[in-house]
A and B are shown apart, each in its own frame.
Chain A
Amino acid sequence: MPVYSATAGGETFRFGTLAALMAAATPARSGDQLAGIAAETEAHRVAARYALADLPLAEFLNEAVVPYESDEVTRLILDTHDRRAFAPLGAMTVGDLRDWLLSPSAGAEALSSAAPGLTPEMVAAVSKLMRNQDLIGVAQKARVVSRFRTTLGLEGRLATRLQPNHPADDPAGIAVAVLDGLLQGTGDAVIGINPASDSIPNCTRLVEALDRLRLEFGMPVQSCVLTHVTNTMRMIEAGAPVDLPFQSIAGTEAANRGFGVDLAVLKEANDAARSLHRGTVGDNVMYFETGQGAALSADAHHGVDQQTLEVRAYGVARAFDPFLVNTVVGFIGPEYLYDGKQVIRAGLEDHFCAKLLGLPMGVDVCYTNHVEADQDDMDTLMTLLAVAGVNFVICVPGADDVMLSYQTLAFEDAAWLRRTMGKRPAPEFEEWLAQMQLASGPRALPDLARRMGIPA
């Protein structure tokens, strides 16, 4: 097993494994400290970056951070690695990759051609050498488009997930929140409910209600009830109008087992939803959520830092050519991302790494009440992500999710981003909004509410 070392300021540091080197090089975060793998000193961290900068990218094809034999995610990553796409990068070190990404020759097309040649570990490694402005600048150049009933990821566009959660899954309460979101022009990425109850009859009832709403208004949107993927497959079998199967995923086989999934079951769900041919402009169907710390939380981290494992989760996601992927960056908790600084950095890393791997990445710009963060931190992160060209953000009424008890963006925040940055909704949805004239036209609230079946 190779030993990695670097000399910084006259002191020599050694790193016993590739995973240890990556963990020492990563920006400080509470989850790696909790796992006992963080850099011991600040100088140790920078020394690791020197060593990482000199590491040939090809090393990642020879040294797995999680063993190939015992982990299907590692096997997926290495077995599907595209050597032809990698060839132009084959002689680079991690530091060379950083320089190339920041150079004018790495444009949208070059980035998209390189994506299949990059492994999650290479991408995680280069992100550790990049400042926040680098993560933003490169992500902004990358373009990843996905399609179902709307087209997401086009230049100059910013889409939104409308998240109309209700603590008791009350249909009228959910409909009122949907109405509030539509009035402010949100919902073009997905109208997605986190159900309070995961029972299949309940989830079916909710997905049917969203589909009726879509048909009533002729809305070019897709809906999703975020229940376990095996529930969604049973709903599909029973004929429910499922647009997008959802699943939380992580970067190791063991962590995915903790979520009750493996690659085979994700493939089954993807195939089942595609077979319905419900999309009108494309057939990307899967919706994945991820978040740094998920593997450690499941005690399935193999001594690998949480950011590298997060990028391995994107390796899982890209095998299914999904419609939506987002990190729930501030939701996992302060034991993984302690404060606003860590959440902001992680949000930018997650978005950059996913885009570089070719994923249609969104971010749940969010925090829980025990994280050292507030609305000002969310303003900062959402602004940076909009500059970075994030595909979509998540919005709820008044930034307060009354079912999950955490804070994400408000509908007003998405409207502010669009106004301030000149970003537009997905084209199909933008056209529908213009026809409906929800915001200024003749349709009064009572008429809309009646058509939505709201008893008031």
Chain B
Amino acid sequence: MTRDLDPFGRRLRALTPARVRLDPEGGATPLASVLDFQLCHARARDAIRLPVDWQAVKAALAPREAIELQSRAPDRDTYIRRPDLGRRLAPDSLARIPRSAPDLAIVIADGLSASAVAAHAAPMVEAVAAALTGFSIGPVALVREGRVAAGDEVAEAMGARLCLMLIGERPGLSVSDSLGAYLTFAPRIGTTDSARNCVSNIHGNGGLPHAAAADLIAYLARRALEIGATGVALKDERGQATLPSAD
């Protein structure tokens, strides 16, 4: 089905994650490559379409308190078509948020990858909490059909000083379980993406490990409270870019 490369060709191929073929004779794509592509695409599609098992997330977070919330998007299809609805909370969800005025509100949203939330959300909450000793943290909010900005409304209702949104990133073919973390100072409805700091590519396939991501988030959170800002105003001295929202 596929042409085996000689050792030299294999060394070249190892220099990039790209699907290089390096076959001077060309011709149709080998069937093995076609099927591998289809499997990777299927995994990415499943990560987007399959629901998060929120009970499992709650169990993984226990004994930490968690509250289940819903955006204004009632289902996945609406979520994908209407980003505006995914950025806001359903009214009955908003009413269930306790105003505990913590230093940090942690919000988990499905975003575009259920597998990212399943694999990385709960461990990231624990890693961040451990790295932020002295911070009061509200109950973890779990938002179905949520986009990044949904965290602003949650955190504003809690009266939190900072919001950390952990959200499933849009899957690519090579990685379908990548988690993104967005930190926002003084979060409120209408906060723009340039006012956030993003730590992206949290996953186990050559991405940012949990501990390193948590250290970076903790550093950013402490600096944010010192200078009273996140986003373009908060420079990360460790070279991580401040990116606009990828939602």
Taking Cβ atoms with an 8 Å cutoff, the residues of A that contact B are 30, 33-34, 164-167, 170, 172-177, 179-180, 183-184, 197, 334-335, 338, 368-370, 374-375, 396-400, 402, 405-407, 410-412, 415-416, 438-440, 445-446, 449, 454, 456
Tell me whether A440 and B24 are in contact (CB under 8 A).
Answer: yes
B112 interfacial by beta-carbon distance below 8 Å: yes
Cα separation A368 to B25 with both chains bound (whole Å): 30
Give 17 new A-B contacts, CB below 8 A, not counting A176-B15, A398-B18.
A30-B81, A34-B82, A172-B15, A183-B24, A334-B81, A335-B82, A368-B170, A397-B21, A398-B33, A398-B37, A402-B17, A405-B172, A407-B41, A411-B21, A412-B29, A454-B15, A456-B11
Q: How far is the CA of A400 from the CA of B84 in the complex (A)?
A: 29
Which of A180, A197, A446 has the most chain B CB atoms inside 10 A of its CB?
A180
State whether A370 touches B48 (Cβ < 8 A): yes
Q: Are A398 and B16 in contact (CB under 8 A)?
A: no
Tell me the chain B residues, 3-22 only, with Cβ under 8 Å from chain A. Answer: 8-9, 11-13, 15-22
Task: Please tell me if the beta carbons of B20 and A180 are within 8 angstroms of each other in the complex.
Answer: yes
User: Judging by beta carbons under 8 Å apart, are A439 and B18 in contact?
Assistant: no
A-B contact pairs, 9 of them (CB 8 A): A173-B18, A180-B20, A180-B22, A369-B48, A370-B112, A402-B17, A405-B175, A440-B24, A446-B8
The reply to whether A370 and B80 form a contact with Cβ atoms under 8 Å apart is yes
Tell me if B28 is interfacial: C-beta within 8 Å of chain A.
Answer: yes
Task: State A167–B16 Cα separation when bound (angstroms).
Answer: 9
Residue pair A456, B15 in contact (C-beta under 8 Å): yes
In the complex, the answer to whether A33 meets B28 with C-beta atoms within 8 Å is: no
Contacts of A370 in B (CB 8 A): 48, 80, 112, 170
Q: Within 8 Å CB of B84, what residues of A?
A: 34
Report if B174 contacts A (CB, 8 A).
yes
Residue of A nearest to B86 (CB): A335
Contact B80 A33 (CB under 8 A): no
- Is B173 in contact with chain A by the CB < 8 A criterion? yes
> Secondary structure of the B side of the interface?
loop
Contact check, A398 vs B19: say whether CB atoms are below 8 A apart: yes
Contacts of B21 in A (CB 8 A): 180, 184, 397-398, 411-412
Given A335-B80, A399-B37, A400-B174, CB of A166 within 8 Å of CB of B48: no
Contact A335 B81 (CB under 8 A): yes
- Ranked nearest first, the 8 interchain pairs of A and B with the lowest CB-CB distance are A398-B19, A405-B172, A173-B16, A369-B44, A180-B20, A456-B11, A397-B18, A397-B20
Known contacts A335-B81, A400-B37; is-contact A166 B16 (Cβ 8 Å): yes
B171 within 8 A of A: yes
Q: Find chain A residues with CB under 8 A from B44 CB.
A: 369
Query: Which residue, of B11, B18, B20, B22, has the highest number of chain A Cβ atoms within 10 A?
Result: B18
List chain B residues, Cβ under 8 A from A368: 170
Q: What does the 1/0 interface line of B79-91 toward A look like (CB < 8 Å)? A: 0111110000000
With A34-B84, A369-B44, A402-B172 as contacts: A183 and B23 at CB distance below 8 Å = yes
Q: How far is the CA of A370 from the CA of B82 in the complex (A)?
A: 13
Find chain B residues with CB under 8 A from A397 CB: 16, 18-21
Known: A176-B16, A456-B8. A410 touches B170 (CB 8 A): no
Q: How far is the CA of A407 from the CA of B38 in the complex (A)?
A: 12
A129 vs B158: C-alpha distance when bound (angstroms):
52
Bound complex: CA of A410 vs CA of B30, how far in Å?
12
CB < 8 Å: which of B16, B23, B28, B173 contacts A407?
B173
A177 B16 Cβ-Cβ under 8 A: yes
**Chain B contacts of A334 at CB under 8 A?**
80-81
